[in-house]
Amino acid sequence: MLRELRIKNFTIIDELKINFETGLNVLTGETGAGKSIIVDAIGLILGGRASPDMIKTGSKEAIIEAYFDNQKHPFLEDIGVDSDDGIMIRRNISAQGKGRVYINDISVSLQTLAVIGESLVDIYGQHEHQGLLKKDNHLIFLDSFGGLTEKVVSLQTLYNEVISLRDKVNELKKRISERSQRIEFLRFQMNEIDSANLKNGEREAIEEEMKILLNLNKLKESSETAYSLLYDSEGSCLEQLSNAASKIRDMLNFDSDAKELFDIIDSTIPQIEDAVLLLRKFKDKYNIDPQRLIELDERLELIKRLEKKYGEGVDEILKYRDKAEEELKDLMHADEQQEAFEAELNAKDNELKVMAEELSRKRGVNAKRMEEMIISELHELGFQKAVFKINIKKKDFVTANGIDDVEFLFSANIGELVKPLIKVASGGELSRIMLALKCIEIKEAMGNRPKAKGQRTLIFDEVDAGIGGITAHHVGKRLKTISNDYQVLCITHLPQIAAMADNHLKVEKIMGKDSVKVAIESLSDGKRQDEIARMLSGKVTDVSLKHAKELLGV
């Protein structure tokens, strides 16, 4: 169970420490005092989503710590976290958005925290009863009660497969009906691309050659001039270099140190000769051929036309051609594909119908049991003559949730026919029905677990909204009964419920000159009487104090 909660720099809370006990823990206080903020903090300890906006203004981080006295948690043992002395969870929320989570001082992921949190606490929030006003939720409640959620997910998976197969069959039928025209069109496209005899990188090569052809005069002039300077003119570079080598060779006859110079000049001559040979090839290459330029221009225009149809670049055109060939092959074998898909569709469709029928049968069985348990809970909550029915109508077709149309029917008074819950239930009645649903949900979820007192924590955040008087008394008794098996935390504005608490905590907002502070106090004796008197009449008077003492049995 949750023994201690510490909150620091969270929303309007500066620093707060709360101790919880076994049995029924009740939190009371004026509206806006900060009670629901405490539940929000517990939600974060259980793996809820955090935001930098939750950090108190002026602080760099918020810290929430919770100590649970649950020992030897199997999941924690599996991941190497010792829980012999209980479970200490700490969550740091940073203004930079990078929070940290620790369990017994060992860093864990948010996913791990969520798994642990789910095993420790259940939170039932305020306004949750509004979900009863949506008829689609009734089926969800029934499946959750009966433990059928996983079977529904399996059915939805199969349903999506059937829909996908049906779409494929319909698409194939459409393609087959248009097949002749499409085959002819694909063949035309492939022939058009094939007849072009394209090669990868061809456009770039053409554009490079055209750039040369368009600048032939300048290229020819430059190459001939360079050739003349190196070799072909009187006093050319090669001639002058050879003369220089001859003179340096004469120097060697008298000065052996000139050998290095001679070797450099002598080795340069063959390189110049190689350059001359290359220049000759370039010079001969730059012959004006007007017809070649025309041919390249026509080829480039052909590639550009194909690009407009099939994609930019020769590579994309050839890829398009390969895809067209694949589609053509598929069309040629479309009849075989259709038969295969239809056979698979029929098999899965039959499997889906069988699964939906089986799910419907289980829902029918669970609905009867759920009706009986809900009515029993409603009697405990003061609805002595209430009738609760689950109406299940079968559809002629299978949907993602099966073939059942589920609706809760309700009658609060004897002699009245049951009618759709969403039309006849008041706010207070919805609150009690939701509490009854939660009670049976707890029984079902915990039915196979050992019920050692306080081992699991249940939090009810203003589930008593919209009720009062004797009804509030019945709701309080029910919460008290639940607290015999589980630790219960209840936020309430009802004195009838607060009077039944084993541990009464008052939350108060204290307004300072420049800041707001949230304080919490464990009440007993006179202070508790004063708080319940305030809850009864809005202020403490002799009359409200008398009523408070009556509620407390003092």
Q: How far apart are CA 367 and CA 76, in angstroms?
A: 37
Residue 384 forms part of a structural domain: no
Closest to 383 (Cα-Cα) out of 430, 438, 422:
430
Q: Are residues 517 and 529 in the same domain?
A: no
483 or 124, greater pLDDT: 483
pLDDT of residue 514: 73
Q: Are residues 464 and 552 in the same domain?
A: no
Q: What is the 3-state secondary structure (H, E, C) of 387-439?
A: EEEEEEEEEEEEECCEEEEEEEEEECCCCCCCEEHHHHCCHHHHHHHHHHHHH
236 or 506, greater pLDDT: 506
Residue 380 forms part of a structural domain: no
Q: Are residues 214 and 317 in the same domain?
A: yes
pLDDT of residue 288: 63
Q: Are residues 542 and 496 in the same domain?
A: no
Summarised one tens digit per residue, pLDDT across range 383-416 is 888 899 999 999 999 999 999 999 999 998 877 8
178 or 236, greater pLDDT: 236
Q: How far apart are CA 471 and CA 477, in angstroms?
A: 10
Give me the residues paired with residue 385 across strands: none
How many Cα atoms sit within 13 Å of 60 on the Cβ side? 0
Closest to 301 (Cα-Cα) out of 208, 216, 207:
207
Kindly give the residue spans of alpha helices, DSSP state H, lying in 178-313. Answer: 179-196, 202-213, 216-227, 237-252, 259-285, 290-310
Q: Are residues 501 and 546 in the same domain?
A: no
Residue 415 forms part of a structural domain: no
Q: Are residues 327 and 185 in the same domain?
A: yes
Q: Is the pLDDT of residue 448 over 60?
A: no
Residue 460 forms part of a structural domain: yes
Residue 298 forms part of a structural domain: yes
The last residue of one of the domains, among 332, 367, 400, is: 332
CATH of the domain at 46: 3.40.50.300
The last residue of one of the domains, among 332, 366, 381, is: 332
Which structure tokens are listed for 518? 């949230």
Residue 270's identity, in one-letter code, is P
Residue 438 forms part of a structural domain: no
Q: Are residues 258 and 328 in the same domain?
A: yes
pLDDT of residue 450: 45
pLDDT of residue 446: 61
On whether the CB atoms of residues 112 and 95 are closer than 8 A, the answer is no
What is the mean pLDDT of the segment spanning 466-495? 84
Give the pLDDT band of residue 205 (cuts 50, 70, 90). confident
Give the pLDDT band of residue 126 (cuts 50, 70, 90). low
pLDDT of residue 467: 67
DSSP secondary structure string for all residues of 474-502: HHHHHHHHHTTTSEEEEE-S-HHHHTT-S
Cβ contacts of 412 within 8 Å, gap of 6 or more:
383, 385, 386, 424, 425, 429
422 or 445, greater pLDDT: 422
Q: Is the pLDDT of residue 444 over 70?
A: yes
Q: Is the pLDDT of residue 215 over 50?
A: yes
Looking at mean pLDDT, say which of 205-214, 447-456, 488-497 comes out highest. Answer: 488-497
Summarised one tens digit per residue, pLDDT across range 91-119 is 999 988 778 999 998 899 999 898 888 88
What is the mean pLDDT of the segment spanning 165-183? 81
Q: Are residues 276 and 310 in the same domain?
A: yes
Cβ contacts of 86 within 8 Å, gap of 6 or more:
3, 67, 68, 69, 70, 71
Q: Are residues 468 and 488 in the same domain?
A: yes
Sheet containing 402-411: give its strands across: 387-399, 402-411, 419-420
Distances (CA, A) of 58 to 52, 55, 515: 12, 8, 11
Residue 489's identity, in one-letter code, is L
Closest to 15 (Cα-Cα) out of 41, 44, 52, 50:
41
Q: Is the pLDDT of residue 454 over 60?
A: no
pLDDT of residue 160: 96
Summarised one tens digit per residue, pLDDT across range 265-323 is 888 888 888 888 888 888 777 776 778 888 888 889 999 999 899 988 889 999 999 99
Residue 158 forms part of a structural domain: no
Q: Are residues 547 and 512 in the same domain?
A: no
Cβ contacts of 319 within 8 Å, gap of 6 or more:
311
Q: Are residues 477 and 492 in the same domain?
A: yes
Please give the share of the chain, as a percent, with pLDDT higher than 70: 96
What is the mean pLDDT of the segment spanning 420-446? 80
The last residue of one of the domains, among 279, 299, 332, is: 332
Q: How many domains does the chain have?
A: 3
Summarised one tens digit per residue, pLDDT across range 510-535 is 887 777 788 999 998 889 999 999 98
Question: What mean pLDDT, rounded, does the chain reach?
Answer: 86
Closest to 480 (Cα-Cα) out of 462, 493, 495, 498:
498
Q: Are residues 513 and 539 in the same domain?
A: no
pLDDT of residue 432: 79
Structural domain span for residue 237: 181-332
On whether the CB atoms of residues 405 and 396 are closer than 8 A, the answer is no
How many beta carbons lie within 10 A of that of residue 37, not counting itself? 20
DSSP secondary structure string for all residues of 93-158: EETTS--EEEETTEE--HHHHHHHHHHHEEEE-TTGGGGGGSHHHHHHHHHHHTT-HHHHHHHHHH
Summarised one tens digit per residue, pLDDT across range 72-93 is 788 888 888 888 888 999 999 9
Please give the share of the chain, as a percent, with pLDDT higher than 90: 34
Give the pLDDT band of residue 354 (cuts 50, 70, 90). very high
pLDDT of residue 451: 42
pLDDT of residue 513: 73
What is the mean pLDDT of the segment spanning 442-451? 59
How many Cα atoms sit within 13 Å of 441 on the Cβ side? 16
Residue 432 forms part of a structural domain: no
Give the pLDDT band of residue 464 (cuts 50, 70, 90). low
pLDDT of residue 453: 37
